[in-house]
Amino acid sequence: MSSEPSHKTDKKTKKDINKQAEKKAKKSGTSTFVKGFIIFISIAMVVPLLASLIFQLF
């Protein structure tokens, strides 16, 4: 009888671990997307400035 509840809790913890892993995967995915978006915006803002500087030099 004592082994039965422990088995149930084992299943629960496995489910919880899977849920946590899914949450972590989602968080990392969104963070990488945000990082890429920020880098893209920074490049989009820097490129015209560099172009204008180059045109002024030549």
Cα separation, 51 vs 24, in Å, equals 40
What would the two tokens of residue 49 be? 């400035």
With a cut of 90, say whether residue 41 has pLDDT above it. yes
Q: How confident is the model at residue 9 (pLDDT cuts 50, 70, 90)?
A: low
Q: Which residues of 28-41 are buried (b: 16+ CB within 10 A; e: fewer)?
A: eeeeeeeeeeeeee
Q: Helix, strand or coil for residue 24?
A: helix
Instruction: Write down the pLDDT at residue 18.
Output: 81
With a cut of 70, say whether residue 2 has pLDDT above it. no
pTM score, whole prediction: 0.44
With a cut of 70, say whether residue 7 has pLDDT above it. no
